[in-house]
Amino acid sequence: MAEILGIGLSHYPPLSGRDEDMAGLLRLALDDPAIPAAQKDPANWPELMCREWGSDEGRSAAAGHRAALVTRFEHARKALDEFAPDVVLIWGDDQYENFREDIIPPYSVQAYDDMEIRPWAQADHSSNMAGRANAWNEPADTTAFKVRGRRDIAKHLVTALLDRGIDIAYAYEPLHHPGLPHAFLNAILYLDYHRTGFDYPVIAFPINCYGRRVISYRGFASRLDDVRDLDPPSPQPARMMAVGAAVGQIMAESPWRVALVASSSWSHAFLCDKTYRLRPDTASDRYLYDRLAAGDVDAWRAVSVSDLEESGQQELLNWFPLLGAMDALGSPTPSWSEFVGTDVFNSNKVFAIYQP
Ligand SMILES: [Fe+2]
């Protein structure tokens, strides 16, 4: 049996920008006239939020948040290098990037060949880094990466999923987004934060996490009172766990060493109405984190799409196939995990490693 490594991480877009821009989403919310003034008054904020906001609107705290994230990415990269995978499969959201009005698959396998990635030139098509300076001061036309593909492994996976009765769409080329959308690209950029190179082949496995808000809100922020006609929902979390379980079993029966990566932050402030879009739903994130750390996969199986939507946890759907896979492989408890909480920087971030 081949060995499988599991990793959960974040693809938080502002980490690829500058510290002074990191609290940009909160600044946007504070400018939203539909959010009540009392909610926007720091006098009514929780202690953590006041401390992070400080006297410079979060600019100083951003350096600390960056350091906390970079340390965890270094840890994940070390685990990846020690494991030396033949391929890295990444579950990530497509935020109205590659998939748009002409088709929204619930999930799919991108069986791409090697590709040249121009992360900043292609950022126009990705969420919220368009036209911004990047953390590495790389010029806009940088070709930072050649990302290798393994179409043979992707085709094997699609074939084996179909054989098991799991219907799955696949593609050999991008549709609307050149290169890789942000959930995949940022995961690679951050695993290579120190720019030593990233030579592992990647299979992108996009999931329609934004569901009812994917076309209607283009998978992104809006004014609190901007009510639109919604799209159909995301696939159910329990279904994504079953898909992940099948992926884990197929890869474990394959000749390849496979790293399975869930790429997303947890509750997002800009999606969370119960906190007036000002901060993430940390209570819900903490509950699910404690269940994850305890290997309580059944608690995750009980989560519905509506639960995720109410807590602004749409992107957390990327983690369900990882938990499903690890459970199916008999290792539901991560060997290492950490919760990086924040009120000012849009989303809580969790990192986890499941050693084979
Ligand atoms: Fe995302």
Q: What residues does each domain of the chain span?
A: 4-354
Mean of all residue pLDDT scores within the chain: 95
- What's the CA-to-centroid distance between 319 and ligand 1, angstroms? 12
- What's the CA-to-centroid distance between 217 and ligand 1, angstroms? 14
- pLDDT band for position 138 (cuts 50, 70, 90): confident
- What's the CA-to-centroid distance between 95 and ligand 1, angstroms? 6
- What's the CA-to-centroid distance between 203 and ligand 1, angstroms? 17
Q: Encoding tokens for residue 128?
A: 């919220």
- What's the CA-to-centroid distance between 182 and ligand 1, angstroms? 7
Residue 126 has what pLDDT? 58
- What's the CA-to-centroid distance between 214 and ligand 1, angstroms? 11
Mean of pLDDT values over 249-268: 98
Give helix then strand counts, H and E, for the chain: 11, 10
The per-residue DSSP string of 287-300 comes to HHHHHHHTT-HHHH
Residue 300 has what pLDDT? 98
Mean of pLDDT values over 212-240: 96
- What's the CA-to-centroid distance between 1 and ligand 1, angstroms? 33
Out of 93-97, 140-144, 347-351, least confident range? 140-144
CA 180 – CA 251 distance, rounded (Å) = 23
- What's the CA-to-centroid distance between 93 and ligand 1, angstroms? 6
- What's the CA-to-centroid distance between 12 and ligand 1, angstroms? 7
- What's the CA-to-centroid distance between 334 and ligand 1, angstroms? 23
- What's the CA-to-centroid distance between 264 and ligand 1, angstroms? 6
Percent residues over pLDDT 90 in the chain: 91
DSSP state of 111: -
- What's the CA-to-centroid distance between 102 and ligand 1, angstroms? 20
In three-state secondary structure terms, 315 is helix
Residue 130 has what pLDDT? 65
Place of tokens 């791409």: 112
- pLDDT band for position 10 (cuts 50, 70, 90): very high
Q: Encoding tokens for residue 92?
A: 């990530």
- What's the CA-to-centroid distance between 14 and ligand 1, angstroms? 11
Q: Encoding tokens for residue 7?
A: 């990793």
Out of 91-105, 111-125, 215-229, least confident range? 111-125
On whether the CB atoms of residues 245 and 325 are closer than 8 A, the answer is: yes
- What's the CA-to-centroid distance between 184 and ligand 1, angstroms? 9
Mean of pLDDT values over 139-165: 92
Q: What is the pTM of this model?
A: 0.97
Residue 142 has what pLDDT? 76
- What's the CA-to-centroid distance between 253 and ligand 1, angstroms? 31
The neighbour count for residue 111, using CB atoms within 10 Å, is 21
Rounded to 5 degrees, φ, ψ at 62 are: -60, -35
- Predicted confidence (pLDDT) at residue 125 exceeds the cutoff of 80: no
- CATH topology for 4-354 is Protocatechuate 4,5-dioxygenase; Chain B (3.40.830)
